[in-house]
Amino acid sequence: MRKEWKESSLISSMTGYGDASCEVDGIHYAVELRSVNSRYYKAIIRLPDELIGLEAEIDSRLRKLIARGSVLLNISVRHEQTAEGYEINRAMLAMYLREMGGIEAPGQPTVDLAALLALPGVIQPPSSTQLIETARPVLGKLIDQAADKLLDMRRKEGQTLEADLLSHHAYIAQRLDQIVAHAPKVVDVYHQRLKSRVEELLARAELNVPEIDLLREVAVFAERSDIAEETQRMGAHLEQLKQVIATDDGELAGRTLDFIAQELLREANTVASKSNDASISRTIVEIKGAIDRIKEQVQNVA
């Protein structure tokens, strides 16, 4: 019995494979279904010429099962024996026999019946309409079976993707905590360094700078290098990333995860530009590297 589900927001890869085949009334049907990552749903359907009329129906069926990814469906039909519906074109056969009768040859010519039947036009296949009506229910079942296998594979691949994404999430969260803990110290360090430098220079010149001017300069630096908002937003994005991975709400996760990764990178770039601290700069480079790996992985999330 066929499973009644389609892709949901549980992490699922866009790479998968499924196949199915059967033989009905002497006709062998085979279906192969492959998918790779793509921003949207895109299908390439390869059918025998006599079944080309089913292409639109098959595309509609696939679209209901697979919402995202580049899909290649290959359908082959092989006649194991003369199937029901094939007929001998007697008029064409009689024409061949008349033509052969007009050929002068020494001795008594022999006629090979198998060779005659193999001549073009002698054996007529069933009409295209008849073939389509016969193949439609068979191919429908085979496509569903192949799609079940493909979606199973995509979900199993998705488990690997989920584990990898969560490991990057934990890595970024840990580094972000380090930045948040260290950030308040940056202004104090700058204040002490500036004060020491000013005192050293003024001592040489025997001048005096009011403390208020020094504090004003420190306040300007603090405002310019404040990264509290950016780190808070990064924390919120990380929480959303984890929720999307864990939530099954009937929506696909890939595009949402890609957007979150872009927002994380944007905030990380802002922190990098505002930070005037070597430790924070090194840590944010590590965070950006992990975000880039997330962006690469989510390209294959359905």
What is the dihedral angle through the alpha carbons of 189, 194, 200, 203, rounded to the nearest 10 degrees? -130
This prediction's pTM: 0.69
Q: Which residue is associated with the tokens 């700069």?
A: 281
Closest CA to 68 of 156, 150, 168, 4: 150
Report the alpha-carbon distance of residue 42 to residue 44 in Å, rounded: 7
Hey, what long-range contacts does 267-274 have (CB within 8 A, 24 or more apart)?
A: 267/230, 267/231, 267/233, 267/234, 267/237, 268/234, 270/227, 270/230, 271/179, 271/227, 271/230, 271/231, 271/234, 274/224, 274/225, 274/226, 274/227, 274/230
Q: Which residues contact 151 (CB under 8 A, 6 or more apart)?
A: 5, 6, 7, 12, 16, 18, 65, 66
Report the alpha-carbon distance of residue 296 to residue 290 in Å, rounded: 10
Alpha helices in the chain (DSSP H): 55-65, 90-101, 113-117, 128-205, 211-224, 228-246, 254-274, 278-298
Report the alpha-carbon distance of residue 195 to residue 82 in Å, rounded: 98
At 208 the pLDDT is 63
The secondary structure of 20-49, three-state, reads: EEEEECCEEEEEEEEEECCCCEEEEEECCH
Write out the two tokens for 184: 């308040």
Q: What is the residue extent of each domain of the chain?
A: 87-124, 158-298
Side chain identity at residue 65, one-letter code: L
Report the alpha-carbon distance of residue 109 to residue 17 in Å, rounded: 55
**Residue 86: other Cβ atoms inside 10 A:** 13
Q: Which residues contact 103 (CB under 8 A, 6 or more apart)?
A: 109
Report the alpha-carbon distance of residue 179 to residue 284 in Å, rounded: 8
Report the alpha-carbon distance of residue 90 to residue 223 in Å, rounded: 95
At 29 the pLDDT is 95
At 111 the pLDDT is 66
Q: Which residue is associated with the tokens 């001795």?
A: 107
| Whether the Cβ atoms of residue 52 and residue 166 lie closer than 8 Å to each other | no
Strand partners for 12: none
pLDDT tens, N- to C-terminus, the chain (302 residues) = 444 444 444 688 999 999 999 998 888 999 999 999 988 899 999 999 889 999 999 999 999 999 889 999 999 998 765 445 567 777 877 887 777 766 655 655 566 777 777 777 777 666 667 788 889 999 999 999 999 999 999 999 999 999 999 999 999 999 999 999 988 887 666 556 655 665 565 555 555 666 666 556 655 555 566 788 899 999 999 999 999 988 866 567 888 999 999 999 999 999 988 877 888 899 999 999 999 999 999 999 98
At 204 the pLDDT is 59
- DSSP codes of every residue in 122-176: TEEPPPHHHHHHHHHHHHHHHHHHHHHHHHHHHHHHHHHHHHHHHHHHHHHHHHH
